Amino acid sequence: MITMLFQVGSEFTYFIIGIVLTISVPIISFLIGMYAMKRYAKKKRWGDSFKTAFIINILLLVPNFPINILLSFIFNDIIITTAISIVNNITLGTILVMIFYKKKFKDSFLFNIVIQLIIFPLTFILGLFFGFVLVIVFFPNMVFSTLIIIRDIFSLIFIQGVGVTLLLTALGLLGGFAIGLPLAIMRVYGGIELNWLASGYEKLFRGVPVLILIYIFAFGMPDLFWYILHPLNRVLASVILALALRSGAYQSQIFRGAILSVDLGQMEAARAIGMSRIKALRHVVLPQALRLAVPGWSNEYAVVIKDTSFAFQVGIIEMTKWAYRYGTNYPELWMLSMGVLAVTYFLFTFPLTKLFGERQTKKLKALGIGGG
Amino acid sequence: MEVLKGISFKVLEREVKVIFGPSGSGKSTLLRCINMLNPPDKGDIFLRGKNLNDPEINLNAIRARIGMVFQHFNLFAHLKAIDNVSLGLRRVKGFSKERARAKALETLDRVKMVKWADHYPAQLSGGQKQRVGIARALAMEPDVILFDEPTSALDPELIGDVLQVMLDIAKSGTTMIVVTHEMGFARAVASEMIFIGEGVILERGTPQHFFISPKSERVKKFLEQLDILYGGHDKLLQHSNGEGSK
């Protein structure tokens, strides 16, 4: 946005916006400080003195103008300026509170830290908001064209890339399930040897980054899927294999935890009516374990869909590749492309993890599943 | 760690054996030996002449003929009451869906839980859960049903219903081995009572023997304690027993 501002707007308009922000932000800070200080003092019964709060805040406000301008000239860095400004406010504020509210050092100090912690993020956010509003007011065309660009990027990423991404995710997750569930059963019900095998697998595929796995299978073993005719599909299959292997290692943990959460008495009762271990697993333990595994599993879904973003390194055209392409073709829009991409991934992960997350576990406990 | 140090007894058909004694004496372990959930390290279990330690035997088929009712119910939490009862019939005995359902309803009727057939265990009280547990064991028509302290986890008001059901099935001729502290129940239907302590049988005999003249001081003291704690149920069962015949 700032970059585009420079390109599109004139120096003068930028200067005006700067002035408006420099004035409005301290005023916002002052108002918030007043409100916060008054409420805090009232709560702590320091004497609800509106006048005292007003004096303190004015005395904080006035020197802030020149100090901030001076600081922004000395250090051209906004972080250092802000940090020094906060420290300055706390020091000055502590002294003023000690004088006017007649409080001890410790109380004043804590009080000011709390006030600053409240003021700083609020004014920052409000300042940003003001800035955006001003930009929209002064440069409506630019804003409009930015929105159009965002829409283009999004449709490129989403419409073109989402199919492949979802395919990779689905098959990777399924593969992981096919690997993870048997592994978990091996670890819980198997003997020492099976346990050791499963544990070894887990350790191996949890310890290697996905990207390296993808490189190994896609480029390192290109003929692994020799029976697939189209070479691109071979790479696709290799990527899915890499994703499945890694996901399997994590899903094994998820299912192992879920199976162990099922009451031991369930297995006992199932065997007591004559079920073999396998039947008992199938009809009693696993139905409950799988329900218990849903929250962890929805988390795994989020991980796998993010893992698919590595696939573009080996030539798969999925969402990240589209954003990358766009960003390299229009470097000044790199931030925008990546931002839209990030939001897209977020839209895929957030609703599902919220839906199938912790709320599910509570519902299940109410049913009596997974108390042990 | 040796839990059971030499126990031996026979149970005849239609008998109700009541096993009692201090906790830690191995009573639960004993039951789990009988249905081979916890096979004994030494010794043999015989069911209708077949030695359960025989490697050729299909233990799952044997367990289908030995029912068990647990202290903590262990109902299948993801299934409705009726499905809890019919699961064994369908998956172990191979009944069809309809036949299993019919038999399950019939059995639930015996334990007076038909109204709750479509409820999940979480929606049932302790006593109701245990009755479903008994139905689950009953429906399999086993040769013998093992009861592992079936009422110990229940609130006092709920124990009566469960004991009543147990009384009914005892009277209808089911072979039962019951580990319990409920002496009223024992007095009403036990064919023989066995007192186990420190892994061995300390005393055994008919209920009359125990309640009129027990041999050892230990048993006497134990019974006194039980009477103090559980005396109330005695009256409950005597009242119902007065109507029926033994």
DSSP codes of every residue in A229-263: SSHHHHHHHHHHHHHHHHHHHHHHHHHHHHHHHS-
Estimate the crossing angle of helix B81-91 against helix B97-110, to 10 degrees.
130
Of B64, B65, B74, the CB nearest to A268: B74
Q: Residue B24: which residues within 8 A CB-CB, separation 6 or more? A: none
The answer to whether residues B197 and B109 belong to one domain is no
Residue of B nearest to A366 (CA): B122
| Per-domain residue ranges of chain A | 2-138, 147-367
User: Please, are residues B2 and B198 in contact by the beta-carbon 8 Å criterion?
Assistant: no
Residues B84 and B168 in one domain: no
Mean per-residue pLDDT, B183-198: 89
pLDDT tens digits, chain A, 372 residues: what are they?
455 544 555 666 666 777 777 677 777 777 877 787 777 777 777 766 677 777 777 777 777 777 777 776 776 666 777 777 778 778 887 887 787 777 778 877 887 787 777 777 777 777 778 777 877 777 777 778 888 888 888 887 778 888 899 999 999 999 999 999 999 999 999 889 999 999 999 999 999 999 999 999 998 888 888 888 888 888 999 999 999 999 999 999 999 999 999 999 999 999 999 999 999 999 999 999 998 898 889 899 999 999 999 999 998 888 899 889 888 988 888 888 888 899 889 999 988 888 777 777 777 777 767 654
Please answer yes or no on whether A269 and B66 come within 8 Å at the CB atom. Answer: no
What is the identity of the amino acid at A292?
L
In this complex, do A367 and B37 lie within 8 Å of one another by their Cβ atoms? no
| A147-367: CATH number | 1.10.3720.10
Do B76 and A265 count as a contact with CB atoms less than 8 A apart? no
**Chain B contact present for A288, CB below 8 A:** yes
Choose one of B117, B141, B165: the last residue of a domain. B141
Domain hosting B103: range is 76-141
**How many whole angstroms separate alpha carbon B207 and alpha carbon B188?**
8
Q: Which residues of B touch A369 (CB under 8 A)?
A: 77-78
Cβ-in-10-Å burial (0-12, 13-18, 19+) of A193 comes to exposed
Tell me, yes or no, whether B149 and B237 share the same domain.
yes
> CB pairs below 8 Å between A and B: how many?
76
Residue type, B222: F
Same domain, B56 and B85: no
Tokens 């044997």 belong to which residue?
A: B62
pLDDT digits (tens, 9 = 90+) for A249-293: 999 999 999 999 999 999 999 999 999 999 999 999 999 999 889
The Cα of A369 is separated from the nearest Cα of chain B by a number of Å equal to 6
Judge whether A185 is closer than 8 Å to chain B, CB to CB: no
Q: Which residues of B touch A (CB under 8 A)?
A: 35, 37, 60-68, 70, 72-78, 87-88, 91-92, 120-122, 136-137, 140
Residues B130 and B239 reside in one and the same domain: no
Residue B233 in this model has a pLDDT that exceeds 90: no
Which CATH number belongs to the domain containing residue B23 in this structure?
A: 3.40.50.300
Cα–Cα distance measured from residue A144 to residue A135, given in angstroms and rounded to the nearest whole number: 11
Going by DSSP bridges, is the β-strand pair B46-47/B192-197 parallel, antiparallel, or unpaired?
A: unpaired
Amino acid symbol at B186: A
Q: Does A369 touch chain B (CB under 8 A)?
A: yes
Question: Which residues of chain B lie closer than 8 angstroms to A274, CB-CB?
Answer: 60-65, 88, 92, 140
The tokens for B186 are: 């024992």
Alpha helix segments (H runs only) across B67-125: 81-91, 97-110
- pLDDT number for residue A61: 73
Average pLDDT over residues B173-200: 90
**Is A283 close to B61, i.e. CB distance below 8 A?**
no
Parallel, antiparallel, or unpaired: how do β-strands B16-20 and B176-179 relate? parallel
Bridge partners, B20 (sequence order): B195
Nearest residue of chain A to residue B70 (CA atoms)? A269
Give the pLDDT score at B111.
93
Whether B95 maps to a domain, the answer reads yes
B152 lies in the same domain as B30: yes
Q: Which residue among B73, B78, B92 sits closest to A273, beta carbon to beta carbon?
A: B92
Helix (H, G, I), strand (E, B) or coil at A196: helix
Q: Shortest CB distance from B76 goes to which of A266, A274, A276?
A: A266
**A125 CB-contact burial (10 Å; exposed 0-12 / middle 13-18 / buried 19+):** exposed
Residue of B nearest to A266 (CA): B74
**What pLDDT score was predicted for residue A35?**
81
List, as one string, the DSSP characters of A76-110: --HHHHHHHHHHHHHHHHHHHHHHHT---HHHHHH
Strands (E) in chain B, as ranges, are 16-20, 46-47, 50-51, 66-69, 144-148, 176-179, 192-197, 200-205
CA distance B74 to chain A (A): 5
Higher pLDDT, A257 or B246: A257
Domain shared by B153 and B234, yes or no: yes
Please say if the pLDDT value at position B243 is more than 50.
no
Same domain, B57 and B90: no
Same domain? For B214 and B126 the reply is no
Rg of chain B in Å (alpha carbons): 18
**ipTM score assigned to the predicted complex:** 0.87
How distant is the alpha carbon of residue A298 from its chain centre?
Answer: 15
Task: Enter the tokens of residue B128.
Answer: 């109701």
CA-closest candidate to residue A185, choices A297, A280, A296, A291: A280
Residue B38 shares a structural domain with residue B82: no
Encode pLDDT of B8-35 as tens digits: 899 999 999 999 988 877 888 899 999 8
| Count: domains in chain B | 2
In this predicted structure, what is the pLDDT of residue B246? 39
- Extract the tokens encoding B21: 């004694």
* Nearest alpha carbon to residue B149 among B19, B9, B16, B14: B19
Which tokens sit at A81? 């300026």
- The Cα B20–Cα A19 span in angstroms is 90
B61, A274: Cβ pair inside 8 Å? yes
d(CA A247, CA B94): 38
Question: B174 and B57 in one domain?
Answer: yes
What is the per-residue pLDDT for A301? 93
For an interface test with A, give the residue of B47, B76, B80, B120 to mutate (most A CBs within 10 A).
B76
Residue with tokens 């049913």: A367
Q: What pLDDT shows up at residue A253? A: 95
pLDDT at A203: 95
The whole-number pLDDT of residue B96 equals 94
Question: Cα separations (Å) of A220 from A213, A215, A247, A279, A295?
Answer: 9, 6, 20, 42, 35
What pLDDT score was predicted for residue A279? 93
CB-closest option in A273, A276, A291 to B140: A273
The predicted structure's pLDDT at residue B234: 58
Compute φ and ψ for A247, nearest 5 degrees. Answer: -65, -35
* Residue B224 pLDDT: 81
Phi/psi at B201 (nearest 5 deg)?
Answer: -75, 120
Q: Please check whether residue B244 lies inside any domain of the structure.
A: yes
Chain B residues with CB under 8 Å of A367 CB are: 77-78, 120, 122
What chain A residue is nearest to B141 in terms of C-alpha separation? Answer: A273
Distance of alpha carbon A42 from the chain centroid: 38
The verdict on a CB contact (< 8 Å) between A284 and B88 is no
d(CA A351, CA A357): 10
**Are residues B49 and B135 part of one domain?**
no
